[in-house]
Amino acid sequence: MSGKKNARMEDKPARLTVLIDSEKKKAFEELCASQDITASQVLRQLIREYLAQHGVKYEASSKRIPD
């Protein structure tokens, strides 16, 4: 596999599946909606903050997922 093709593959967003209690999911989605923000936006921010809190460095993708 060429380096160029491999670099393109790394730019693609990845899916993260999380299993939670259905009532927590509903409450979370309702809270997000009331703040005019998506659940995905909140989770991406939480992940960024968690990585920063633990001093984890990473290279941001050139194809940014909007927040």
pLDDT at 39 over 70: yes
pLDDT of 64 higher than 70: no
The pLDDT, as a whole number, for residue 63 is 64
The CA distance from 28 to 38, in Å, is 10
CA dist., res. 31 & res. 53, Å (int): 24
Q: 9-38: per-residue pLDDT in tens?
A: 566 889 999 999 999 999 999 999 999 999
Q: What percentage of the chain has pLDDT greater than the value 70?
A: 75
The C-alpha angle with vertex 22 and arms to 51 and 33, in degrees rounded to 5, equals 65
The residues near 24 (Cβ < 8 Å, ≥ 6 apart) are none
Q: What residue ranges do the domains of the chain occupy?
A: 21-67
- 32's CB contacts (< 8 A; 6+ apart) are 38, 39, 41, 42
Mean pLDDT to the nearest integer, 35-43: 97
